[in-house]
């Protein structure tokens, strides 16, 4: 699966946008949003490659009630672990630790796993 195909899955499963179209080139994806009777095409973000776009995924997960542990540094594997619930005085359910050499990709793989989508890397 390509990075762009994973970006499409993030847009669908994490951000809830079902209408994604591919225009002229095979990686020219756009999100189709209806606004005031108009169809608006917004370029699909590069969640798997851009840390600023991947950070929006973390913010969405945080707003959805997940806690996030992110560890690592360039040149080594990045690790992401999501958890549900409070960490102070309550039992917390941790998801499995997800590792990848790219921080944005590790974030995307953990996010997709949180909604039941597993990608083989």
Count of domains for the chain = 1
- Reported as a single tens digit per residue, the pLDDT across 37-96 is 898 999 999 999 999 999 999 999 999 888 888 888 767 899 888 887 655 545 455 667
Q: How far is CA 105 from CA 18, 29, 48, 59, 65, in A?
A: 21, 18, 5, 15, 21
Residue 33 forms part of a structural domain: yes
Q: Residue 117 — φ and ψ, nearest 5°?
A: -105, 115
Q: What are 57's two structure tokens?
A: 């995924």
- Reported as a single tens digit per residue, the pLDDT across 1-36 is 999 999 999 999 999 999 998 887 777 889 998 888
Residue 119 forms part of a structural domain: no
Residue 120 forms part of a structural domain: no
Residue 89 forms part of a structural domain: yes
Residue 8 forms part of a structural domain: yes
How far apart are alpha carbons 91 and 56 in whole angstroms?
Answer: 27
Residue 103 forms part of a structural domain: yes
Query: What integer pLDDT is reported at residue 85 of this predicted model?
Result: 62
Residue 109: which domain range? 3-114
Question: 66 exposed, middle or buried (CB, 10 Å; 0-12, 13-18, 19+)?
Answer: middle
């Amino acid at each position: 699966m390509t990075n762009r195909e994973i970006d499409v899955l993030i847009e669908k499963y994490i951000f809830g946008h079902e209408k994604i179209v591919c225009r002229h080139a095979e990686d020219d994806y756009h999100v189709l949003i209806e606004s005031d009777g108009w169809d608006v095409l917004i370029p699909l973000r590069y969640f798997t490659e851009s840390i600023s776009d991947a950070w929006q995924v973390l913010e969405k997960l945080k707003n959805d009630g997940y806690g996030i542990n992110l560890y690592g540094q360039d040149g080594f594997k990045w690790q992401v672990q999501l958890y549900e619930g409070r960490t102070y005085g309550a039992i917390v359910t941790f998801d499995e630790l997800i590792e990848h050499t790219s921080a944005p990709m590790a974030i995307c793989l953990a996010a997709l796993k949180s909604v039941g989508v597993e990608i083989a890397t």
